[in-house]
Structure 1
Amino acid sequence: MNRTRVSAFAAPVAALLFSGMICLHTHADETNGFRPNQYPPVYTPDWESLSKHGSAPEWLNDAKLGIYFHWGPYSVPAYRTEWYPRWMHIAKPANWGAGTMEYHEENYGPIEEFGYHHFIPMFTAEHFDADKWADLFQSAGARFAGPVAQHHDGFSMWDSNVNPNNAAAEGPKRDITGELLAALRDRGMKTITTFHHSFTGQRQRDGQPKGERALSYYRYDKDLFTSSEDPKLRKLYGNMPEEEFNEYWLSLVQEVVDKYSPDMIWFDSWLDVIPEDYRQRMAAHHFNAGEHRDQEVALICKQQDMPDDLRVLDIEQGGMKDMPDRLWMTDVTLSSSGWCYVQNQKYKPVDLLVRNMIDVWSKRGVVLLNISPRADGVIPDEQLDRLEGLGAWMKKYGEAIYGTRAHTIFGYGEAAIRDGSHGGQAATIKYSEKDVRFTRSADGMTINVFLLGQPKDGSQIAIKHLANSEGVQPVIDEVSYLGDGSQCDWTFENDVLSVAAPPATDANEIATVFQVKLQ
């Protein structure tokens, strides 16, 4: 049974606020035909109140790994990038979209005649199976999962009453989000939905940007579909005044929260272009929904788009160079570049992927891994192979990952650390057995030591920095090799733990993991 955390004393105030919230949504109701649920206002839409929610529930700290996917009509052309809908409208962009307009016109015809919305019927998803996908994500080691609910392209992957351009109404003609989240919950997994649509609204007209940034995903052109006043297409292309778009943006998020109860909602860059009061209303709605359902929810976003004390910071395609004092997240791709399925896609090897994940986990981080299904709903074999490899490693060594906490330091080593493209460090650092990372059990009685590579058979390994935060050296009870639980010969002198490497036949080529049990 849901419980309400509003006291009898607060009821009159709650009723007043409730009434005020309805007034705030009058414009959204008229514009979108949508009225969000009204929850008892444990949190009000201001930073002081919202900060009392906290940033990260303990279950997220325990979970460590989630999987999501970029999948939509942009998966049909499968050319270069999921930003195809933008670049098809821009001639000769000097970036990763180069050649997109030319490719589109060569293969589909002039953009004046074949718009992005014409891809929607071709996005069939006939092989999508929510149960099989949920099983796959769980077997890969994920403890939470979910879809990109709406990308910059303006297409909703759920059964939406707000956006007529949605997966239940056309294309797949199925509620992708609803089916998948139900399957995940059946398996005891947490759920996430991600939103990228704050960049969809056309904040420029006739090519003139607002302010210093061109804050429009679609280029406004009176001769193209992007300027359509058709009631349906204007929502896909974000062609509406800013005030109306802000209400539309908020309604989309609130609809997903109300219909599907995600444990986490996650926002891509450009959330800062949404006015502060709308961001506050969004957070209050999500937090109050969680309280009403007795559900510990989280909000994740990038840059400084929300205050730290109520959100989890996400760093795209990267990690932290040092260990922060609070939980954070990184979203990384299984592919070498890009997020959706594209022709001739290349993928990261499993060892590179897992070693960089271990680095994240050692620094209080959580990994959100992206995969890329084809438009027909098939997940390519190359991706399945890597998920299988990840799952096999997590099954064997997950004890040193799930439910753990940070050690005094994250580790040390010799790897050359490169800057990431979106802050922090890159997600493709090449580690070796000379790089050491740590985690600790929640009770502090076990230190997990990761060598990010396979040491030479029979070599002696010197492990440093086992002291606690007060500099007190541990009293070691035993040291074992986590792969098979076998005991290791070891000595601990002058603050250095010396242990023999396991035989090559027992070692793991991705990472060697020792467990140091303390007295």
Structure 2
Amino acid sequence: MKRAILPLLLIVLLTTAALPASAQKTESGDSPKQSSDHLEWWRDAKFGMFIHWGLYAVPAGVYEGKQIEGIGEWIMQRGKIPVAEYQGYAKGFNPVKYNPEAWAELAKNAGMKYIVITAKHHDGFALFPSDATEWDIADATPYKKDLITPLAEAARHRGLKFGTYYSQAQDWTHPGGAKAGSKEGGGWDDAHKGSFDEYLKKIAVPQTREILTRIKPDILWWDTPHLMTPERAKPLHDLIALRPGLITNNRLGGGYKGDTETPEQHIPATGIEGRDWETCMTMNDTWGYKSYDDNWKSTEVILRNLIDIVSKGGNYLLNVGPTAEGEIPEPSIQRLQQLGDWMKLNGSAIYGTTASPFAKLQWGRCTKKTTENGGTLYIHVFDWPSDQKLVIPGLRNEVTAARLLATGAELSTKATEGDVVVTVPQNAPDAIASVVELKFTGPLNVVPHLPGTLPDGSIVLDAVWADIHNTIRSHARLEEKGNSAKITDWNKVKSWLSWDFRAAKAGTYDVMAEIEGGGKSKLSLEFNKTKKPIEVLATDAKGVRSISLGEITIPKAGIYTLGLKPNKNDWEGFDLHRVTLTPTD
């Protein structure tokens, strides 16, 4: 995986729900994705297990007595460990406690539908016997047995699909393999010197052929296309024909898009329009095992991430990093068991569903199953209403039945002022996420519920309505305390904010922001295809202050998007409470 370690960045998405951009394109809210029958099982599956396992589990994050910063599987690169020295770890890789049947059973019981494991990571070490090299499990370790095929068989025996991760370009052991951050032929050891094209010809292409013809995976998960060009990628891409129905991702390089996008360690705020996508994520801060990484995400965070991802039209690939002995860490097992308990009761609200039709649900998320004449909405409630009235905003369909999915208890509903109100019990069935199942008739009809023009003509864009756009290296998030909310940890240029809102009339508006803290920063206000530069000066003032973001002109009544994007060359960041648009006339 990528080098950056990212602490918990996904809380940002747990308290506001964004309508996937793709869901705005069709009447039902479904994405106009690429048409491929071989993806149907994957689109229905929603939840898979990622496994990062290899020699890096032997040092477990420690080299020469020092804890090496970064994710565990990058220790060779981060520690600049010479090839010959790193190869010595193979003598200590003897996973006698490895039980592929137990791993597959754990995945199945967690509600996962597929497994993807690292057949070869960036250190170049193959977990399967390879004719292309002796740097593999059979030739270099005391274990001397294939680790991949037994897991594939165990998974398939339980009805799970099986995938292999393969690092096609980066290889820190074989001569000529690519090294992130280095030019072609570069590295930190003379043993790295060699031709990248020869490496592809002698290692990457033959090993990919071995994987596709011997293991026969359902998914081939490429990673880090460093130095890949169309000419270099083509021989690898051509091998896909050996495995009809194979699903590939977007990381081969050379312009080949594959079947799926792969946001890493973050959830796209509005999904990914027109593309199938899968967020891959760790349970702690590392992919490969590190003995001292105890920063585990809670079951609440992991489960709500799953629901959030599915509500935006994606899949969730959740990682475990086994030890060198072949054991999955106990904190991972505990969380997977707890996820499985929830999925046994509520899995129908995940599997085979599509993205939410709602712009925002401040108390939770929604997934759905629809037909031309009706369907089912699954309302995932994170914050249970204290007044026992759950408001489904903008739902105009007739609701024919409502019940708690976990218990089957029937609920009463009432249509009122363009919304549907569900009367729920005083106590939530589940402390993390309770699911209300609503059956409705007719084509799905949801009127977007967005911030709009108030009686005084102003439009208030509170923090809770913001779509927070993060990447792997950024982690802005929503923080709520009582009746107050703000965007905090907005100190990385890769994070940006946007609001969808409804304007009742045309006009010119002053734009003011209420912010807190922070230093000197520059950003752009983006609206209606225009960008306006803004400079925020540092101040010693405490508490919330107002700053001007200039003016915008709304040409006519309708739905619009306003964005705030940091300047990549000058950004210290600040906390943001709200943006207010006030008419000038």
TM-score (ref. length: structure 2): 0.63
Q: Is the 8 A contact 2:52 2:288 kept in 1?
A: yes
Matched ranges for 1:311-330 at <5 A: 311-323=259-271, 324-330=273-279
| Contact persistence 1:202–1:218 (CA under 8 A) | no
Q: Which amino acid aligns with 2:118?
A: V
Q: 1:405 to 1:391 in 2, by over 3 A?
A: same
1:24-55 residue CA offsets vs partner (Å, 9 max, x unmatched): xxxxxxxxxxxxxxxxxxxxxxxxxxxx9949
Judge conservation of contact 2:47–2:112 (CA < 8 Å) in 1. yes
Note closer, same or farther for the CA distance 1:277–1:190 as it changes in structure 2 (3 Å cut). same
**Cα gap change, 1:218 to 1:260, in 2 (>3 Å):** farther
CA pair 413-204 structure 1, distance change in 2 beyond 3 A = farther
Distance 1:198 1:408 in 2: 40
The partner residue of 2:229 within 272, 275, 279 is: 275
More helix as a share of residues: 1
- Correspondence 1:493-512 to 2 at 5 A: 493-504=416-427, 507-512=429-434
Structure 1 residues 217 and 476, CA gap change in structure 2 (3 angstroms): farther
Percent of paired sites with the same residue: 25
Match of 2:293 in 1: 345
Q: Whole-Å Cα distance in 1 between the matches of residues 371 and 255 of structure 2?
A: 29
More divergent stretch after superposition (440-449 vs 392-401): 440-449
Does 1:131 find its partner at 2:101? yes
* Whole-angstrom distance in 2 between the partners of 1:126 and 1:177: 14
- 1:373–1:215 CA distance, 2 compared to 1 (3 A): farther
Q: Distance in 1 between matches of 2:79 and 2:186?
A: 9
Please provide the CA RMSD for this pair.
2.8
SS across alignment from 1:198: coil
Compute the displacement of 1:58 (Å): 0.5
Q: Where does residue 74 of structure 2 map in the other structure?
A: 83
1:440 CA drift (Å): 2.7
Which sits farther off after the overlay, 194-203 or 347-356?
Answer: 194-203
Partner of 1:115: 85
Q: Which has the higher strand share?
A: 2
Aligned-partner Cα distance in 2 for 1:177–1:218: 31
Structure 1 residues 314-463: aligned runs within 5 Å: 314-323=262-271, 324-335=273-284, 337-346=285-294, 347-409=296-358, 411-414=359-362, 434-441=363-370, 445-451=375-381, 453-456=382-385, 458-463=387-392
Match of 1:241 in 2: 195
Provide the secondary structure at the position in 2 that maps to 1:392: helix
Report the AA paired with residue 228 of structure 2: I
| Equivalent residue letter for 1:461 | L
Residue 436 of structure 2 is aligned to residue 482 of structure 1: no
> Which of 27, 42, 48 is equivalent to 1:66?
48
Residues 284 and 495 of structure 1, relative CA distance in 2, 3 Å threshold: farther
How far 1:441 moved relative to its partner?
Answer: 4.8
Amino acid at match of 1:317: Q
Q: Determine helix, strand or coil for the equivalent of 1:402.
A: coil
> What's the TM-score once normalised by structure 1's chain length?
0.70
Structure 1 residues 343, 191: CA separation in 2 closer, same or farther (over 3 Å shift)?
Answer: same
Whole-angstrom distance in 1 between the partners of 2:323 and 2:269: 34
The one-letter code matched in structure 2 to 1:220 is W
Query: Which segments of 5 or more consecutive residues in structure 1 lack a partner in the other structure?
Result: 1-51, 91-110, 228-237, 415-433, 467-472
Task: Flag the 1:303–1:486 CA change in 2: closer, same or farther, 3 A.
Answer: farther
Q: Quote the residue 1:193 is aligned against.
A: 164
Distance, in Å, in 2 between the alignment partners of 1:457 and 1:168 is: 60
Structure 1 counterpart of 2:390, one-letter code: I
Q: Does the 8 Å CA contact 1:124/1:375 hold for their aligned counterparts?
A: yes
Matched position secondary structure for 1:199: coil
Per the alignment, residue 14 of structure 1 pairs with none
2: distance between equivalents of 1:117 and 1:179? 24
2:353 maps to amino acid: T
- CA distance in 1 between counterparts of 2:156 and 2:174 reads 38
Q: Take 2:161 and 2:259, find their aligned partners in 1: how far apart are those partners?
A: 17
Give, in whole Å, the separation in 2 of the partners of 1:187 and 1:250.
31
- Report whether the alignment pairs 1:298 with 2:263: no
Change (3 A) 1:306 1:501: farther
Give aligned pairs, total. Answer: 394
Q: Say yes or no: does 1:173 pair with 2:144.
A: yes
| Structure 2 SS opposite 1:478 | strand
Secondary structure, counterpart of 2:250 in structure 1: strand
CA distance in 2: counterparts of 1:217 and 1:187, whole angstroms: 44
Instruction: Name the CA shift for 1:201/1:122 in 2 (closer, same or farther; >3 Å).
Output: closer
Letter of the structure 2 residue corresponding to residue 87 of structure 1:
R
Answering whether residue 134 of structure 2 is matched by residue 164 of structure 1, we say: yes
Aligned partners of 2:253 and 2:199: how far apart in 1?
A: 22
Change (3 A) 1:54 1:345: same
Q: Deviations over 1:247-306 (max 9, x none)?
A: 12222212101111100101122x1522313323322321x2233xxxx22101349764
Residues 175 and 193, structure 2, Cα contact 8 Å, conserved in 1 = no
* CA distance in 2 between partners of 1:457 and 1:500 (Å): 11
Write the distance in 2 (CA, Å) between the matches of 1:476 and 1:72.
Answer: 52
Counterpart amino acid of 1:489?
A: S
